[in-house]
Amino acid sequence: MAKVKKVFFCTNCGASSPKWIGKCNACGEWNTYQEEVVVKSETKQSEKLVWKKKQGTATGNPRPVIIQEIKAGNTQRLTSSDNELNRVLGGGIVNGSLVLIGGQPGIGKSTLLLQLALSTKAKILYVSGEESEEQLKMRADRIGTSISECYILTETNVSKILTHAQDLEPQIVIIDSIQTLSSPFIDSTPGSVSQVRECAGELQRFAKEMNIPVFVIGHINKEGAIAGPKLLEHIVDTVLQFEGDRNYTYRILRTIKNRFGSTDEMGIYEMQATGLREVSNPSELLLSQTDEDLSGTAVSATMEGMRPMLIETQALVSKAVYGTPQRSATGFDLRRLSMLLAVLEKRGGLLFGQNDVFLNIAGGIRVDDPAIDLAIVAALISSLEDIAVPSDICFAGEVGLSGEIRSVNRIDQRIQEADRLGFKQIFISKYNIKGLNFDRYQIDIKTVGKVEDLYQTLFEV
């Protein structure tokens, strides 16, 4: 007989409790418990599918093995048609891995994976619980390329999906999305904590035992975290985040977690009418194409993951009309902007207090790299003084609280990229020159130690 049980689950970590509690004992979060009805039948549990194991996968009875005896380098990877994705995953899709892709609604998750399914020469099963076959066909026609053997399945029952997958034996399985899946062994609504956890567990078991990579799309909640229990992120091998500003066409694919590669990689795409296009040379897109030198603009040599990228920063400093001056930043941390303004005021004697300050990073990209500070400071001073920074100058340096310009990592790569793109001059921290061979570059390297130095070199005539 099926037992009907009401259980409370923590929406943050997935812990359960027989009664409601205000603070989760497992993760310490407040007010995260929600009630779910769970029907578990013992007989049904034993009916769970047992996969026909493929050769070469882990056998049922593992023994302890000395680490030296384990053969290295036998992770088999499947190279997809999408070079950005391959790189983000650490060099291709690892067989038997479970990859979770999160992102805002409408950012292009389904498009990314359908495109992968259509253009990779492999047998692929695309399971959609969100769109009908016709809708998917329409989208596929928009994307155009179709050289693969791509099967579409519109189903939400995880057992049925995996039975089909087992019969079809595809090389990649794509699930759109985990929140629409439901397991017959659990009687709560799709998207609930227990369902998400159970379905993710089933998919993980399938991926590992059949040695087939599974991509799973996950929705994200208001705060930007992947909806469902944190546990989901622990279960999967790789978590990717697809982000970007919907008003712009650029999309960034970041690694949040990767068991098979570094989390420093990222991929850039451009959303076009015919799907996503890989952007292999981002700098050229993120620099504006104007020839005029305008005040308030400065170019920063930043690193996004392992890739150097030159990005334009724009500042507008204007007389405040209302009592309290406004501060606004797009693509940059507002508190950090306030900090930089305070430094300029205290150490540079520049008065921003009576002015509105607006800051914008080109292309709708969000930058966390501290090396962008120096370019922002230059853009702010340039707008305040209304003196343009020549467009062939770029910057890379972090600004400290006492107005000192601090060194940044991978300075060599930044200089090389600026050099390659034809910049004439780069400003870096004077503490950053250790080990640099100035003769290697054509670009003129200027070193500065304090914001005052920057002011004197650039703006004092």
By CB under 6 A, name the binding residues for ligand TYD: 103, 105-111, 139, 142-143, 271, 273-275
C-beta of 219 vs 414, nearer to Mg ion = 219
Q: Residue 242 or residue 395: which is nearer to Mg ion going by CB?
A: 242
Q: Which CB sits closer to ligand TYD, 64 or 106?
A: 106
C-alpha distance across the termini of the chain, in Å: 88
350: nearest Cα among 452, 428, 236:
452
273 binds, among Mg ion, ligand TYD, none (CB under 5 to 8 A by kind): ligand TYD
Cβ 130 to Mg ion, closest distance in Å? 5
User: From the CB of 242, what's the least distance to Mg ion, in Å?
Assistant: 11
User: To 10 degrees, what angle do helices 133-143 and 109-119 make?
Assistant: 70
- Binding track over 71-110 against Mg ion, x by CB under 5 A: ---------------------------------------x
Q: Rank residues 100 and 311 by Cβ distance to Mg ion and give the closer one.
A: 100
Compute the least distance from the CB of residue 115 to Mg ion, in Å: 12
Shortest CB 90 distance to ligand TYD, Å: 23
Q: Which residues contact 202 (CB under 8 A, 6 or more apart)?
A: 48, 158, 159, 162, 183
Report d(CA 396, CA 424) in Å as an integer.
14
Residue nearest to Mg ion (CB): 110
Minimum separation from the CB atom of position 250 to ligand TYD (A): 12
Residue 32 makes CB contacts below 8 A (sequence gap 6+) with 10, 11, 12, 13, 24
Q: Which of 175, 179, 21, 195 is nearest to 98 (CA)?
A: 175
**Of these partners, Mg ion, ligand TYD, none, which one is at the site of residue 274 (CB under 5 to 8 Å by kind)?**
ligand TYD
- For the bound state, the minimum distance from the C-beta of residue 222 to ligand TYD, rounded and expressed in Å, comes to 16
Select 8 or 250, whichever has its Cβ closest to ligand TYD: 250
**Contact call for residues 370 and 404 (beta carbons, < 8 A):** no
Q: What are phi and psi of 23, to 5 degrees?
A: -120, 130
Task: Specify the residue, 106 or 422, whose C-beta has the smaller distance to ligand TYD.
Answer: 106
List Cα–Cα distances, 338 to 252, 334, 452, in angstroms: 27, 6, 18
User: Which residue in 199, 224, 162, 176 sits closest to 14, CA to CA?
Assistant: 199
Q: How far apart are CA 62 and CA 367, in angstroms?
A: 45
Sites for Mg ion among residues 343-372 (CB under 5 A):
none
Which residues, in sequence order, are bridge partners of residue 149? 123
| Cβ closest to ligand TYD, residue 114 vs residue 399 | 114
Q: How far is the CB of 219 from ligand TYD (least distance, A)?
A: 8
Minimum CB distance to ligand TYD, residue 252 (Å): 13
- How many angstroms separate the Cα of 108 from the Cα of each of 26, 233, 241, 275, 409? 34, 20, 11, 9, 32
Q: Is 241 in the site for Mg ion (CB under 5 A)?
A: no
Span 104-123, contacts to Mg ion by CB under 5 A: 110
* 3 state SS of 37: strand
- Dump strand ranges (E) for 18-171: 33-40, 77-78, 93-94, 98-103, 123-128, 149-153
Yes or no: say if 111 and 139 are a contact pair by the CB < 8 Å rule.
yes
111 binds, among Mg ion, ligand TYD, none (CB under 5 to 8 A by kind): ligand TYD
Least spacing, CB of residue 78 vs ligand TYD, in Å: 22
Q: Which residue intervals of 294-372 are DSSP H helices?
A: 334-348
Cβ-based nearer residue to Mg ion, 275 or 305: 275
**Residue 54 or 142 having the CB closest to ligand TYD:** 142
Residue type, 247: N
Residues near Mg ion (CB under 5 A) are 110
